[in-house]
Amino acid sequence: MLLRYRRQENITISELAERTGVSKSVLSRIESGETKRPGFTTCKKITRALQIPYASLVSSYLDVTERAEMLKFLLEEAVSLNNRSLVRKAESEISFPHIEMYTLNMGEIFFGKDHGRARNYY
């Protein structure tokens, strides 16, 4: 996928490395599939340089991530993007027993206490 986007932007791997600050060898391993799960920070730099929507990155990471910390982070990112479908996707991936309360708290954090219940967010 990275190769397709890079070609679409018509830039070399060297140019992408320059734009992102990610080494050519790391980019090459990601493109070839040798690196199966590049770090989120690395992916964020790449998506920014290739003008890939941030929501696409969050969604893709939700598809492959199982770590609770990362899922929580991705949920927070989905809320900050005000992207309802991503919030739902993140919630469905999280197996926290009190997810409704967590979502309510996230809504209060991002939208203020007067925003109302999380269900109004949807």
Residue-level pLDDT at 28? 94
* 33: DSSP letter: T
7 — pLDDT class (breaks 50, 70, 90)? very high
**Given a cut of 80, is residue 115 above it in pLDDT?**
no
Q: What is the mean pLDDT of residues 85-105?
A: 68
Average pLDDT, the chain: 82
pLDDT digits (tens, 9 = 90+) for 28-76: 999 998 998 899 999 999 999 999 999 999 999 999 888 889 999 999 9
**Identity (one letter) of the amino acid at 52?**
I
The structure tokens 């890939």 sit at 52
